Amino acid sequence: MNFDAKPFLLFSNFDNGLLHWLRVFGGFAGVIFAATVLISLGIYGVSGPVAVMGRVRQGLHDFLNLSPKRIWAIAWLTIIEAVRRKALLVFVVFAFLMMFAGWFLDSDLRADLQVKNAVSFALTTVSWLTIPVLLLLSCWGIPEDIRVRSLHTVVTKPVRRNEIVMGRILGFSTVAAGIVAMMGVVGYVWVLRQVPNNASLICRVPVYGTLEFLDNEGNISEKGINTGDIWEFRSYIEGGTKASAVYKFPIDTPADQIKLESRFEAFRTHKGRIGQSLLVRYVLVNPTKELRVPLDSFEIQEFNLNEQFIDRKISFYDEGNKDKRTVDLFDDIVDQNSLTIAVQCLDSGQYLGMSRPDFFIRLPDRSFAVGYFKAVFGIFLLTVFVISIGVTSSTFVKGPIATLLTFSVLLIGQGFREFMIKLITGVQKGGGPIESWYRLVTHMNDTLELPDNIGVKIMQGIDNVMLGGLWLMQHLIPDLSSFVMSPYVANGFDVPWSVAMLRSLAVTIGYLVPCLLVGYYSLTLRELEAK
């Protein structure tokens, strides 16, 4: 498990969440409106902006007078159409995969790894089967209606264009909900039957804190030591020194006992005692009272979760008073609803690596079904997002183009955003597309300087324009990684509300609203006779 669970803060500041969305959405809408008014003024004179305002008024009227009955009628037609187009055949493929998947999953692995594989497989299968089917259906629905002219019979009825778009999205989403729910349940039963008897399906509820480091001298440091790992996810503290990793956990409800779990990594500079892992110690700290309570040391189990329990009443040897003392966890140690724990490595010359999500307070577990079905809901939300983009794009382009567009948004949102950001920020060496091509053809390494001439300047100028387009894309296409919740469940964790669920829900709704607007105006303004 390497996910860094940073919470999604909806209202924390102006740059986050809802307010950011309002700013972007309002900005785009304003720019489009202003451009439309100006263009219409240039082409038609004063009557142009009047007509634009008329369309806006009509739009407002249409959105304020939505008829749920009509929307549901369109949705129902969409469901029937999806069934007629044999969308439900996807269940046959699903059944086939579930029947034989067990043959290809390694049953010799450790029990927890088998659980991980089984859960990942079930959830990945559900999403990989559902999303392509719904993507194709949503992208081809309206263009096909236009082609066979069945949309003409609908628009001549008292149905508003936004109701058509909403009905389509609702209909496909209902189909998606049915498919995902059915597959989710079957997948759940399959996982229960697939996992070995000695494996447990768990759903941990972690409370993560913040992390800061103290260096060898005991001074505050942003990071620990890098022991040479390419991956800088973890930072290391040196054993047998004042170095420690200080975690601060939010804690508000007193309990008789709290459970801590950690997943630290060891790095040895000498063999040490073979057969004995590194010794780690937790020190509970109250900075206000300057109280430090060392707990018993323990050997770490690397790449595994080490469980420790802290009782409310803790007895320890107070080195200051040279006496044994008992303190109360919540009365004496928790300070302003925050529990501070310093992690130390006791082996001299050895290093202990950690990152923020490596250490957490474990609340009572939830049922595995809770986490699993949250992940299934995440797949459903992603499908709704895809449907929204698919239906909207199908209102202004034909089926193949809409499919390509939606697929690209999905692909970039899930896997290529990081690469795109690296390109835009210049972290990725090799320049833009023209420069890369030039370097490929001339066998020029990306670390070599380009010659300083006019040709190169033109090339980089064109690249900059293209990268500007990419910058816009990067802001338009959302990060869809939060929708993929299976890693949480596969690693035995609950899907956190603020980190994954809220973020995914917000992205889905955040894109649904502009999609409805774009879809409505595209369908209103387009020529339905066009083939």
Q: What is the binding site for another protein (CB under 8 A)?
A: 2, 104, 106, 108-109, 113, 116-117, 198, 229-231, 233, 265-266, 268, 271, 274-275, 277-278, 300-303
Query: Measured from the CB of residue 303, what is the shortest distance to another protein in angstroms?
Result: 7
Put the strands of the sheet holding 265-268 in their side by side order: 235-238, 350-354, 265-268
Query: Measured from the CB of residue 499, what is the shortest distance to another protein in angstroms?
Result: 19
Query: Measured from the CB of residue 29, what is the shortest distance to another protein in angstroms?
Result: 40
* DSSP state string for 252-300: -S--SEEEEEE--EEEESS--STT-PPEEEEEEEETTTTEEEEPPPEE-
Query: Measured from the CB of residue 233, what is the shortest distance to another protein in angstroms?
Result: 7
Distance of alpha carbon 517 from its chain centroid, rounded?
Answer: 25
Given the complex with another protein, which of 43 and 230 has the nearer CB atom?
230
Query: Measured from the CB of residue 304, what is the shortest distance to another protein in angstroms?
Result: 9
3-state SS, residue 32: helix
3-state SS, residue 189: helix
- Apex 509 CA angle, 504 and 514, nearest 5: 135
Run of H or E including 165:
helix 161-194
Query: Measured from the CB of residue 198, what is the shortest distance to another protein in angstroms?
Result: 8
Given the complex with another protein, which of 355 and 482 has the nearer CB atom?
355
One-letter amino acid of 366: R
* DSSP state string for 500-524: IIHHHHHHHHHHHHHHHHHHHHHHH
Q: Give exposure, 496-522, as e/b (b: 16+ Cβ within 10 Å).
A: beebbbbbbbbbbebbbebbbbbbbbb
Given the complex with another protein, which of 265 and 494 has the nearer CB atom?
265
Given the complex with another protein, which of 108 and 323 has the nearer CB atom?
108
Given the complex with another protein, which of 33 and 303 has the nearer CB atom?
303
How far is the C-alpha of 42 from the C-alpha of 477, rounded, in Å? Answer: 32
Given the complex with another protein, which of 5 and 255 has the nearer CB atom?
5
Given the complex with another protein, which of 11 and 104 has the nearer CB atom?
104
Query: Measured from the CB of residue 297, what is the shortest distance to another protein in angstroms?
Result: 15
CB 141 within 8 Å of CB 172: yes
